[in-house]
């Protein structure tokens, strides 16, 4: 079986590919990764010498390349995206081009080339913000940031290709991922690497925004269950079960890095900052047997240890992002 995985030089896609390459089952898929290697992608995330892995550098908007890769693919798992909310606030062009137009290009290629199954990775942010309770998959989408609006557009396009053309599309909407190999601009790796460098950490507003935290390996387990056991045209929420305010998370990160609140700099809140996200993932649990396996405290400690032990991975990325090299 040939699997095309987009965006797997990034954080979650690379964890998913590592998971599949670790399998020694005789029917383990051959994997082609299509990734543009934007600022967020790095080949250091991939085992390029693995015999079941092929890497192709390219843009998901390149219809000719996409057609060629789809012709060899039985299934697709689509992670590629512009993924950072703050960047979408300072400029949304790439978000629309990659997340919306890129996804449509992939769906069109999958349809033309008769791909069996297309798993689209969406986000809990498409639902908007919720003060109490949790969203089921049937909740109307109400995205607030240019990032989440572009993801909602691609999510709806994916479902439209199922309803209109009968393409076997499955959509996942997950909560905030954490774990190793996450680009050091998202809150956990940014705070950990800043603290390891003896710098301050920027906490938005009063730190009251609440997120559900999901270990990246639990997310990948959920994606794999959706690919292998999910139903065409269905949406599956994937959550982690650990809800924390940003202030609570900051306290845990300070403790893990041996720092105190003097290392925190309160900064002006993000524009339109959603207060709380919370997905109801009972459908994935009852239908697919999904449940997160990582205990948050242990997962966070392992993540901090990974950044402490892998400065050679993140220091060049951080320098590049700051325009220093």
Ligand X SMILES: NC(=O)c1ccc[n+]([C@@H]2O[C@H](COP(=O)([O-])OP(=O)(O)OC[C@H]3O[C@@H](n4cnc5c(N)ncnc54)[C@H](O)[C@@H]3O)[C@@H](O)[C@H]2O)c1
H helix runs in 121-243, sequence order: 146-165, 187-196, 216-229
Catalytic residue among 35, 82, 125, 274: 125
Give dist(CA 189, CA 180) in Å, integer: 8
234 noted as active-site residue: no
How far apart are CB 33 and ligand X at their closest, in Å?
Answer: 9
At its nearest, how many Å lie between ligand X and the CB of residue 151? Answer: 5
Closest CA to 113 of 75, 78, 169: 75
Q: Choose the catalytic residue: 35, 82, 124, 212.
A: 124
Closest CB 282 distance from ligand X, rounded Å: 19
DSSP letter, residue 244 = E
What is the rounded distance in angstroms from the CA atom of residue 75 to the CA atom of residue 292? 25
Strand stretches in the chain, DSSP E = 2-6, 30-35, 53-57, 75-78, 117-123, 169-174, 176-178, 201-204, 210-215, 235-238, 242-245, 264-267
Spatial separation of the C-alpha atoms in residues 25 and 260, rounded to whole Å: 47
- Altogether, the residues listed in the chain come to a count of 325
Choice between 75 and 176, CB closer to ligand X: 176
Which residue, 11 or 264, is less far from ligand X as judged by CB? Answer: 11
201 versus 317: smaller Cβ distance to ligand X:
317
Written as six digits, the tokens of 96 are 């629309």
- Compute the least distance from the CB of residue 258 to ligand X, in Å: 26
The one catalytic residue among 147, 161, 178, 290: 147
Secondary structure letter of residue 71 according to DSSP: H
Cβ burial of 101 (10 Å; 0-12, 13-18, 19+) is: middle
**Does 178 qualify as catalytic in the annotation?**
no
Query: Which residue has the CB atom at the shortest distance from ligand X?
Result: 10
CA 46 – CA 148 distance, rounded (Å)? 27
Q: How far is the CB of 226 from ligand X (least distance, A)?
A: 13
Environment class of 262 (CB within 10 Å of its CB; exposed 0-12, middle 13-18, buried 19+): exposed
Active site residue 125: yes
Nearer to ligand X, 6 or 117 (CB): 6
Q: Do the bridges between strand 53-57 and strand 169-174 make them parallel or antiparallel, or are there none, so unpaired? A: unpaired
Q: Report the residue number, 55 or 263, with the smaller CB distance to ligand X.
A: 55
Enclosing H/E stretch for 48: none
Strands (E), 247-286: 264-267
Interface residue list for ligand X (CB under 6 A): 6-7, 9-13, 35-38, 40-41, 59-61, 79-83, 98, 102, 121, 123, 151, 174, 176-177, 183
Cβ atoms of 291 and 243 closer than 8 Å? no
Q: Which is nearer to ligand X, 167 or 188 (CB)?
A: 188
- Enter the tokens of residue 209: 């925004």
Q: Least distance (Å) from ligand X to the CB of residue 260?
A: 27
- Residues designated as active site: 124-125, 147
């Amino acid at each position: 079986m040939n699997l095309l995985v987009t965006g797997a030089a990034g954080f979650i896609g690379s964890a998913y590919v590592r998971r599949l390459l670790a399998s020694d089952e005789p029917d383990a898929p051959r994997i082609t990764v299509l990734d543009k290697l934007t600022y967020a992608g790095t080949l250091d995330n991939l085992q390029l010498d693995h015999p079941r892995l092929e890497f192709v550098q390219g843009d998901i908007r390149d219809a000719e390349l996409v057609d060629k890769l789809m012709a060899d693919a039985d299934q697709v798992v689509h992670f590629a995206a512009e993924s950072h909310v703050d960047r979408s606030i300072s400029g949304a062009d790439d978000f629309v081009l990659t997340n919306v137009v890129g996804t449509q290009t992939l769906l069109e290629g999958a349809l033309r080339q008769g791909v069996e199954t297309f798993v689209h990775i969406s986000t809990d942010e498409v639902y908007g913000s919720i003060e109490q309770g949790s969203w089921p998959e049937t909740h109307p989408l109400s995205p607030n940031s240019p990032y989440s609006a572009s993801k909602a557009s691609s999510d709806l396009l994916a479902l439209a290709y199922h309803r209109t053309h009968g393409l076997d599309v499955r959509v996942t909407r997950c909560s905030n991922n954490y774990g190793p190999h996450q680009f050091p601009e998202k809150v956990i790796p940014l705070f950990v690497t800043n603290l390891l460098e003896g710098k301050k950490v920027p906490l938005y507003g009063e730190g009251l925004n609440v997120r559900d935290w999901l270990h990246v390996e639990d997310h990948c387990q959920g994606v794999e269950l959706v690919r292998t056991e999910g139903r065409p045209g269905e949406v599956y929420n994937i959550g982690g079960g650990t809800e924390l305010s940003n202030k609570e998370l900051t306290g845990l990160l300070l403790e893990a890095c041996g720092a105190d609140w003097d290392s925190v700099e309160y900064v002006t809140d993000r524009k339109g900052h959603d207060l709380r996200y919370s997905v109801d993932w009972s459908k994935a649990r009852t239908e697919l047997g999904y449940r997160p396996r990582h205990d948050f405290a242990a997962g966070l400690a392992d993540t901090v240890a990974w950044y402490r032990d892998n400065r050679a991975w993140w220091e060049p990325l951080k320098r590049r992002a700051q325009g220093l090299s």
